[in-house]
Amino acid sequence: MATLEIKNLHARVAEDDGEQILRGVDLEVKSGEIHALMGPNGSGKSTTSKIIAGHPAYEVTEGEILLHLEDDDFGDLDIPDDVRTWNLLELEPNERAALGIFLGFQYPAEIEGVTMTNFLRTALNAKIDEREELLFGEDEEAEEEEAGYDTSPMEGNVDDGEVGVAEFQKLLKEKMELLDMDEKFMQRYLNAGFSGGEKKQNEVLQAAILEPSIAVLDEIDSGLDIDRLQDVSKGINALRDEQGTGILQITHYQRILEYVEPDHVHIMLDGKVVKSGDASLASDLEDKGYDWVREEVYEAA
């Protein structure tokens, strides 16, 4: 199990006189939990997600983001005691990902010429190499290989990386079956020509392959019709139930929470988490909007 702990996080846009956006965010997400982070536009939800992942457009001015790892976070790896707590703000985005942080994008990029299969296997092998280097100081960067491709150039070299082509194909089929996805996705270029719903399903598939400890999903429900919403929700529940992934679900609407029931709901206003509760809090927002929260918070201040 892993715990993501955000303590008194302040941040602004990383430019001269950049706008202060976060003003003291406190939040804790554990593996196996589902948290919903809600709030009006401009409250700091997406900024929080990007800072967790290490986006360079923001500068943290105060606070810290800690990731606490338990010894069962990475299968049969025995994590040394002195490297079980990490300050993510001191790590590069790829290092954060290697330790189990995943960010699902609101608007996933399209990349022509790179197949889903090749992209996912490359990402998985890169994560494994980076993680071992961080935890054990082992640089297992593959030696330069002059041999050509033994498989299709779109699938990469069969010997490149810890997870070979055949092993990865088996893993990919298992994950796609778990998420009830059509195998036609496997040979398509990454997100190229995908519908909005297919792109969001692909984000969930990436999380299923990489098996993060904590997945931050930024408005993954935006633009989905009811059928796709149910498909994506099924995938999110599978991440939690089958892999034990902790979910920080950023959303504007209560409707996805009808399918992905959160353990905790948090409301952000003006760069802070001002109120937390159980799933009923999302229903209250659906009925009454945010004004009652503002009145409750600012009248008490």
Cα angle, residue 2 at apex, residues 107 and 86 outer, rounded to 5°: 85
Question: What is the reported pLDDT for 143?
Answer: 46
Q: Which residues of 33-71 are buried (b: 16+ CB within 10 A; e: fewer)?
A: bbbbbbbbeebbbbbbbbbbbbeeebebeebebebbbee
Tens-place pLDDT, residues 217-244: 999 988 889 999 999 999 999 999 999 9
Tens-place pLDDT, residues 160-203: 678 999 999 999 999 999 888 888 888 899 999 998 888 999 99
**pLDDT over 90 (residue 246):** yes
Computed over every residue of the chain, the mean pLDDT equals: 90
- Report which of residues 299 and 88 the model is more confident about: 88
**pLDDT over 90 (residue 148):** no
Tens-place pLDDT, residues 279-292: 999 999 989 999 99
Q: Which whole-number Å values give the CA distances from 291 to 45, 83, 115, 174, 268, in the listed order?
A: 18, 44, 46, 46, 12
Question: What is the reported pLDDT for 43?
Answer: 96
CA distance 293 to 270: 12
- The string of DSSP codes covering 44-82 is SHHHHHHHHHT-TTEEEEEEEEEEEE-TTTTTT----GG
Question: What is the reported pLDDT for 157?
Answer: 52
Confidence of residue 297 (pLDDT cuts 50, 70, 90): confident
Q: Judge contact between 271 and 22, C-beta under 8 A.
A: yes
Q: Which range, of 5-9, 37-41, 202-206, 218-222, averages the lowest pLDDT?
A: 218-222
State which H helix or E strand residue 117 sits in.
Answer: helix 116-136
Confidence of residue 147 (pLDDT cuts 50, 70, 90): very low
Question: What is the reported pLDDT for 222?
Answer: 86
Q: Which range, of 49-58, 71-80, 144-153, averages the lowest pLDDT?
A: 144-153
Which whole number is the average pLDDT over 105-120?
Answer: 92
Structure tokens at 179: 């998420």
Q: Which residues of 124-140 are buried (b: 16+ CB within 10 A; e: fewer)?
A: bbebbbbbbebbeeeee
Q: pTM (2 decimals)?
A: 0.90
Confidence of residue 215 (pLDDT cuts 50, 70, 90): very high
Q: Which range, of 35-44, 152-161, 263-272, averages the lowest pLDDT?
A: 152-161
Q: Which domains does the chain have, with CATH numbers?
A: 3-137+161-300 (3.40.50.300)
**pLDDT over 90 (residue 151):** no
**pLDDT over 80 (residue 159):** no
- Report which of residues 159 and 60 the model is more confident about: 60
What is the Cα 242 distance to its own chain's centre?
Answer: 16
Tens-place pLDDT, residues 72-110: 777 777 888 889 999 999 999 999 999 999 999 888 999
Question: What is the reported pLDDT for 144?
Answer: 46
